[in-house]
Structure 1
Amino acid sequence: MKGKTTQPIRHRRDGLSARYVRLREQERDQEFAEWYWSGYDQDDYDGYDDFDDWDQDNMALIGEHFALVRATFYPNQPLRALRRFLSEPLPSAEPMLPENLASDELIQRLAAYLSRLVDTPSDSQLTEEIRAALGDEEARQVIAQHLPKSAEAICLFAPFWCRSPLTWSPDSGVSLQEHLFATYPVPAFLIEALNNPIRFPDYKWLCWFILLGRSASLKAAGRVFGWDIPGKFAHFLQQVPARTPIEDVLLTGEMLSCPFSPKQACLYAEVLRLGGTETDYQRLARDGSYCLDPTDLSVAEDDFRFWEGAVCWLIRHREELSDTDAGRVLAWARHCHTEFLAGHEAAFRWVGRSVAATVERARIYHDQQHARWHRWHYYAWSAHGWDSAGASGWSITELTNSNQLIDEGAAMQHCVWSYGWRCQAESSAIFSVCYKDQRRVTVEVNPKTGELVQAHGLANRDPDTEELQIVAIWLQALVLPSLRPTAG
């Protein structure tokens, strides 16, 4: 065109235009993401189904974490993101963690490293340290072959290996995770935990493995990491058996066994520490609402004290209770506690309760549940227009008559069936939170203020982080705006 000069296309030294390189790198980024996610079962990764709902800080951290994984575990992936993580040349391999490292020093090192890994995964020095500890590609291949579900996390903690994966043999009689991290015996449930996926940023059980495998004090570590580790807890943790018996109700009714999860193992150890036996553990484990991690400081104080009181009461009256009576008492007590938290009843206290009176009160509650079809009136009420369903698979639906409440209560094993009169009186609104048509949480909302009154899963268990997040987003996006007065 007249009056304009044509500028030559600038090429890189390798002969590729900048635009071509940019587009090709974007394509490779997408290919890597698809390949990375394809290696997981969807059930293993439910926690990250709703990335769109995370706040920007969390999203940024997750992105940095994935880039760190790519830079360390998949160093041959030609990704644009690696440029800000790596400097050349790569450092040479460093020696393994010294076997004579003092317990206190190991705790401080691990705590500082975990803080860097979770809070600043984009630190280029951290990337180089991990790659230096990993060594050559063959080490990564050994871990990926024998620990496919947890390989990335185990490689991220390569600076805490005490042996190389290249010196391990499948015929040695020692698991690969023990070979890498442990010089002392480690509880069997932790070995199993490292066979399963380990998701950023929840590295608690991997840290436990490292600490116990080097004979470090879990109680001392708890003060640094923020775990609630009571005295002698670690001693009883070592007594947890490798597998837990479960009743195969759906098939034969016989007792089978499966590996303890870390939460189950902590529950078992705390029951033993408080003077209980396997019988007491089994009675608690049959009711999902009592299966909590007693070392988790995020458990609300009221919930933990109620739980601890239940454990001590069961232990104290073990011989006077049948399994049926114990189950009914636990269900009734949980109902009373959740009603207290919702502001509907007085606080429940375990202290001073005799066995006879408690069992009788629990029996009445149990009979009321079974007779609900005949004992409760039929109610119906208008919906508030707060139902929600998205492409992510989550849905939130208001229950608008007694039959729906009865179905919800039967499916979720709690007392929401008795809330019909409250809903009709406009003092409560009940919603069923489902994921892919499966009930996950029942929610009570104050219809006048939009306040979340209570939320409970199966058998009155507390909602997990993802479920609470879904409910919070729904309240903020749909419920609360509809109750705000409109201008003019």
Structure 2
Amino acid sequence: MNSPSDQKVFSTSLFGRGQPRPRPWYMANRNKPISAQALQTEQAVAALSRHLSWHKWPPARQLDYLFTPGIGPELYARVAATDALAQLHQHCVAGRTVAERTRTKAFLLALAERRSVLLTRPEMAAALGTLGRFYPYRLRPLADWIPKTKNARTQLASLVRHLFDQYGDVPAWVIDAWGAPAADHCGVEMARLTLHLGRGQSLRTFDGLPAPLTKRLEHGLRQAPAGCTYLEAYRYAQLEARAALDWWGVVLESRLGRALGPDDEFWLGVLDLFQATPLADPWQFGPVCDYLDFRRHVGTPAEPAQPGFSLRGRHLATVLTQTARWHQQLTQAQRSAGMLGVPLHTAWPGLPVPDFASSDEEGRVRITQLRTFGQLLAEGRALHHCVASYVQSCQKGRCGIFSLTFDGTRAITLEVNAQRIVVQARGRHNRPMAADERHWVARWLDAAQLVLSKYV
């Protein structure tokens, strides 16, 4: 039997120029038919190999390419993960059944006919995926929707209202949250809530709420401003019922702005105490809550936790004095270690958030994550606040503590939660940020892709 090299020589000598040549041994299956799916994938890959930019394709062609079976690996190899096409594939194609992909493609094709900018914006892909999921439940035809602006977020809100809001009275903060993860809204799936309210149903009858609502709370929730999360709207409703909306920002910057919990009524009682005290400093509300949480849930060897601790019969002046004494004790390293039951050398990995240094040669302005108990103690001692009490939250990955320094001098302590939101920023004696400090924090937010809570 001839070797491959013998075959090559033989075929060359047997056939002259212009004569048909037999296929080499390694191309014996060249004409074997391939499956339709493999053919579609091959054609799509060939299009990319010819360096055709998908941005120049008509929308229908983009969507045909996007929904090509098996195109995912090639797509992600050719375009950045943050590209609009990659994001659309992730949220509208990947992991979906054939029926779901068919419905979603039909929705996107109909949307493309409306000349919407939503298809070209990567940050809108998750919302479009959710729209495709709930598209069968629309109340009006998409063909009747006319985008009146080129602003993507305004278009999205208009489209959601057109499809799912029959009476036009779904609160703006609910519409704004379309497509957001339920984890960002106390477990509430905001798209389902939109459909529920859009059909004229009561908010109180929605089966996915984290806590039951009274009629008064439902009224307050419907009045909450646009841009709220569910938690923020819920706190708005609670404060509206107490005629305490002036305290909304202060409350959201405290532990009441972290999550709903079984102790909510106790913390609202703390707020009532502040409200009832003339000239009470609102900025002390958060520190007092930290102290009271320590008393109720942590405690010390000499004074164990008191879950039933009550403010009944107590004056705010007394509570403020006790809070100040507790803060002072926290600044003393050995006493803090004993109080919190944490060794001084305790360390933790920290959140995956980069530090920051200004672009000058010396790096005069720095924002650095604190990753040891000793660093927390030093920060609290320098700025006279209770950041050391956050050690357990840091250890459990619930938050990260960062220090803003100017020429090595501590200025602001920042708390970042696990959702990459800066939820607290406090200086010496818990003062708020100054304008120059806010400027550098904004630079860091942009570089680290973080979000600053609008109440900080």
Q: CA deviation at 1:375?
A: 9.7
CA distance in 2 between partners of 1:129 and 1:412 (Å): 58
Q: CA deviation at 1:291?
A: 0.8
Contact 1:161 1:181 in 2 (8 A): yes
Residue ranges of structure 1 left out of the alignment (5+ in a row): 41-62, 72-80, 82-120, 243-258, 295-303, 420-427, 441-456, 468-488
Pick the aligned partner of 1:123 from 89, 97, 115: 97
Q: Deviations over 1:137-184 (max 9, x none)?
A: 525752616986333333332223222343233449983321222112
Runs of 4+ in 1 over 6 A off after TM superposition: 14-24, 200-203, 370-382, 389-392, 394-397, 409-412, 432-437
Question: Larger deviation: 309-318 or 388-397?
Answer: 388-397
Counterpart in the other structure of 2:82: 37
Counterpart in the other structure of 1:281: 248
CA distance in 2 between partners of 1:348 and 1:29 (Å): 55
Pick the aligned partner of 2:266 from 289, 298, 309: 309
Normalising by structure 2, we get a TM-score of 0.55
CA distance in 2 between partners of 1:305 and 1:378 (Å): 28
Pick the aligned partner of 1:69 from 77, 91, 110: 91
Q: What is the one-letter code of the residue matched to 1:291?
A: G
Aligned pair in 2 of structure 1 residues 291, 383: CA closer, same or farther (>3 Å)?
A: closer
Matched, 1:337 2:309: no
Question: Larger deviation: 174-183 or 18-27?
Answer: 18-27
Counterpart in the other structure of 1:191: 175
Q: Which residues of 2 match residues 77-226 of structure 1 at below 5 A?
A: 121-133=95-107, 136=110, 138-139=112-113, 141-142=115-116, 144=118, 149=124, 150-171=127-148, 175-184=158-167, 185-194=169-178, 198-199=180-181, 204-222=189-207, 225=208
Counterpart in the other structure of 1:112: none
Counterpart in the other structure of 1:6: 25
Length, aligned pairs only: 334
CA distance in 2 between partners of 1:414 and 1:312 (Å): 22
SS in 2 for 1:37: coil
Counterpart in the other structure of 1:362: 320
Larger Rg: 2
Pick the aligned partner of 1:346 from 300, 305, 327: 305
Contact 1:393 1:436 in 2 (8 A): no
Counterpart in the other structure of 1:263: 231
Matched, 1:28 2:74: yes
Counterpart in the other structure of 2:379: 407
Q: CA deviation at 1:311?
A: 1.0
Structure with larger RCO (C-alpha < 8 A, sep 6+): 1
Counterpart in the other structure of 1:251: none
CA distance in 2 between partners of 1:412 and 1:129 (Å): 58
Q: What is the one-letter code of the residue matched to 1:337?
A: D
Q: CA deviation at 1:458?
A: 6.0
CA distance in 1 between partners of 2:272 and 2:210 (Å): 25
Q: CA deviation at 1:32?
A: 6.1
SS in 2 for 1:122: coil
Aligned pair in 2 of structure 1 residues 192, 413: CA closer, same or farther (>3 Å)?
A: farther
Q: Deviations over 1:366-385 (max 9, x none)?
A: 3663697689889998847x
Counterpart in the other structure of 2:49: none
SS in 2 for 1:260: coil
CA distance in 2 between partners of 1:352 and 1:371 (Å): 22
Q: What is the one-letter code of the residue matched to 1:9?
A: N
Contact 1:332 1:362 in 2 (8 A): yes
Q: What percent of counterpart residues are identical?
A: 13
Residue ranges of structure 2 left out of the alignment (5+ in a row): 5-23, 47-70, 356-367, 405-412, 422-456
Q: CA deviation at 1:69?
A: 3.2
Aligned pair in 2 of structure 1 residues 359, 434: CA closer, same or farther (>3 Å)?
A: same
SS in 1 for 2:131: helix
Contact 1:317 1:355 in 2 (8 A): no
Counterpart in the other structure of 2:67: none
Counterpart in the other structure of 1:99: none
CA distance in 1 between partners of 2:221 and 2:393 (Å): 43
Counterpart in the other structure of 2:18: none
CA distance in 2 between partners of 1:418 and 1:198 (Å): 28
Aligned pair in 2 of structure 1 residues 266, 180: CA closer, same or farther (>3 Å)?
A: same
CA distance in 1 between partners of 2:130 and 2:209 (Å): 21
Q: What is the one-letter code of the residue matched to 1:122?
A: R
Contact 2:298 2:305 in 1 (8 A): no
Q: Deviations over 1:277-303 (max 9, x none)?
A: 313434412x33211454xxxxxxxxx
